[in-house]
Structure 1
Amino acid sequence: MTSARRILIDAETTPFYHVINRCVRRAYLCGEDKLTGKSFEHRRGWIVDKIKALSTIFCIDICAYAVMSNHYHLVLKIDLNEANALSHRDVISRWQQLFHGNEVASKYMKGEGLIEGEQILLDGLIAEWQERLSSISWFMRCLNEEVARKANREDECKGAFWEGRFKSQALLDEQAVLACMMYVDLNPIRAGIADSLQTSDFTSIQERITELNTTRNTEEKALKTKDMAVTITVMPLKALAEFDGAAHQGTQSGIPFHFSDYLQLIDWTGRAIRHDKKGFIDSSRPKLLCELGISSDAWLTSTQEFRRQYSGISGRWDTMCEFKRKHQSGKWCKGKASSQAIHPSP
């Protein structure tokens, strides 16, 4: 029996969530249809562009993503501090980028006076919109509806494009966030469609490495014509969530690791997963595994089987059980052995 999304996602308990959605049709979400020879590769760009645009509007950061042939993975972080700090005008402005504006909200934005009834209505709308701007459900709704409409128009057909509503996993601690991000970033390598991080197209790790190796684009671009040069200001999309290295420090504004440590670990893990790579067995564990006390075998199993190891929750076993009791009125949850393997006892 499926559970209501409100009991599966609780930003107060954890801001980090792994979400997955799968295409329902035989025709690929992306990739090439071998039967017809038609390529759908361009649809991968639709998804990456849309999640970046939505992250700019919503108070939700993109920690990791991977767009595969018939499904995609995201690791999202809800930023409640940003959501709570939004002014009324910020909320209305952001919401109107997603949906047609309300007449009363439009009057307010123009500086026109509102009668008492209109003000009460507007206050209610703003409270509702502000809550939705930090909602993963609304983020996913905006993403999936647009992709489905564009694909249906392109395929000249009607009907469901997605298999069903998206699936989510709450990531309750650092080990769960780290294992899940690596599981997502290594999807193409694990599937055998890429042989390195740099060639793992449409993944967050490829984007991060590219950004590391090249100078970031400036916000201003010069358009030169025969007669003159015109400078325009381009509003950049929000970048991927940053690694702030705040592990074990209580405060957490980004991903709680240093990127250099993450890069070392994912390179080591990717080589271990690809058995055709020479030297994939390394006797020394990467720094992060040593700090977290995770064995090499347990780590490699987790990064390859993460989605199947757990159901809707991942983390230390006692916190998983507590989350289950609090939100889902159940005493059993999947993944005890897997959790204990990457959360060794002190």
Structure 2
Amino acid sequence: MTSARRVLIDAETTPFYHVINRCVRRAYLCGEDKLTGKSFEHRRGWIVDKVKALSAIFCIDICAYAVMNNHYHLVLKIDLNKAQSLSHRDVISRWQQLFHGNEVATKYMKGEGLIEGELILLDGLIAKWQERLSSISWFMRCLNEEIARKANLEDECKGAFWEGRFKSQALLDEQALLACMMYVDLNPIRAGIADSLQTSDFTSVQERIDELNVERNIQEKTLKKADNKAESITPTPLSPLAEFDGSTHQTTQSGIPFHLSDYLQLIDWTGRAIRHDKKGFIDSNRPKLLCELGISSDSWLISAKEFRRQYSGVSGRWDAMCEFKRKHQNGKWCKGKASSKALHPYP
């Protein structure tokens, strides 16, 4: 029996969640239909563009993503502080980008006077919309409905496009977040679709590497311009991916609690280990993050390949996983004890 979203997603317990959705039809979400030869590759762009657009409206950050042939993965962070700091106008403006809103809210935005009953109604609407703007369920609803409509229109058919409601995993700590992001970013390499991070199309790690290269090119050109006493180049805005802030305590986190350089070192090392045909993997030379977290190479590589199947609904330290199940799912059986202890060797 499935559980309600309100017991699977609790932003107060952890802001980080891994979500997955799969296409129901043989024609695939993306890729190429071998029977008809028709390509659906452009639908990958639909997913990525819509996820970024929704992230700019919702108080939800994108930590990682990967769009595969018949499913996609997202690692999301709920920003409760941002949601709670939104003004009434911010809430209404954001919500009206998603739905028509309400006549009373429209009057308020125009600066028209409201009677007492309308003010009471407006307060209720704003409270409801503010809560929804930090809801992964509403985020996924807006994403999946639009993609399904566009795909059905293109395929000239009706009916369900998605296999069912999205699946979610709560990520309770840094080890779980790191392992999950690695699992998501390495999806194309693990599936044999790509042979390097740079060629892993429609993944967050490819985008981060491209952005890093753009930043370096801009800095080099700016320095050259400065040497020639010319005007410096204004950097172009980067896409809305969550930033790596390096902080290790949840109370001080403004983004992802690792440094980008350490993450890229680890994912390159892991990718080379997964693909045995890649040169440069040295088992004894563990990346900095694994040494700091005390995770063995073997345990890490198993997690990078099997993370989705190692757990059910929640990942983290074993006692925290059991507490999450007890609190939110009435002590329902918890899967992944051995995997959890392998990623959390310290008591």
Using the size of structure 2 for normalisation, the TM-score is: 0.93
Correspondence for 1:224: none
Secondary structure of the corresponding residue to residue 64 of structure 1: strand
> Partners of 1:92 and 1:252 in 2: how far apart?
27
The answer (yes or no) to whether the contact 2:321–2:334 under 8 Å persists in 1 is yes
The 8 Å contact of residues 274 and 280 in structure 1, kept in 2 or not, is answered as no
SS in 2 for 1:303: helix
Amino acid of the structure 1 residue aligned with 2:314: I
What residue is the counterpart of 1:176 in the other structure? 176
1:120-162 CA-partner distances (Å, limit 9, x unpaired): 1111000000000000000000000000000000000000000
SS in 1 for 2:50: helix
The answer on 1:280 being equivalent to 2:281 is yes
- Identity within the alignment, %: 89
Distance in 2 (CA, whole Å) between partners of 1:45 and 1:216 is: 26
CA distance in 2, matches of 1:343, 1:249: 17
Equivalent residue number for residue 251 of structure 1? 252
Distance 2:99 2:341 in 1: 45
Separation in 2 of the partners of 1:263 and 1:276? Answer: 20
What's the secondary structure of 1:118's corresponding residue? helix
One-letter amino acid matched to 1:52: K
Structure 1 segments unaligned to the other structure (5+ residues): 219-234
For residue 93 of structure 1, what is the aligned residue in structure 2?
93
Report Cα offsets for 1:182-230 as digits up to 9, x if no partner: 0000000000000000000000000000000014999xxxxxxxxxxxx
What's 2:308 paired with? 307
- Find the aligned partners of 1:237 and 1:104 in 2 and give their Cα distance: 36
Matched, 1:117 2:117: yes
Offset at residue 281 of structure 1 (A): 3.8
Give unmatched runs, 5+ long, in structure 2.
219-235
- The count of aligned residue pairs is 330
2:197 aligned with 1:197, yes or no? Answer: yes
8 A Cα contact 1:169 1:314, kept in partner: yes
Q: Is the 8 A contact 1:53 1:238 kept in 2?
A: no
1:240 aligns with 241
**Bigger helix share:** 2
- Over residues 254-301 of structure 1, what are the superposed CA-to-partner deviations in whole Å (9 max), with x where a residue is unaligned? 100000000000000000000112343432110000000000000000
RMSD of aligned Cα (Å): 1.6
- 1:171 deviates by 0.1
The TM-score with structure 1 as length reference comes to: 0.93
Q: Which amino acid aligns with 1:102?
A: N
Q: Equivalent residue for 1:208?
A: 208
Task: Say whether residues 1:65 and 2:65 are aligned partners.
Answer: yes
SS at match of 2:211: helix
Amino acid at match of 1:296: S
Query: Relative to structure 1, is the Cα distance of residues 6 and 153 closer, same or farther in structure 2, using a 3 angstrom cutoff?
Result: same
Q: Which residue of 2 aligns with 1:131?
A: 131
CA shift, 1:77, in A, is 0.2
Residue type matched to 1:103 in 2?
E
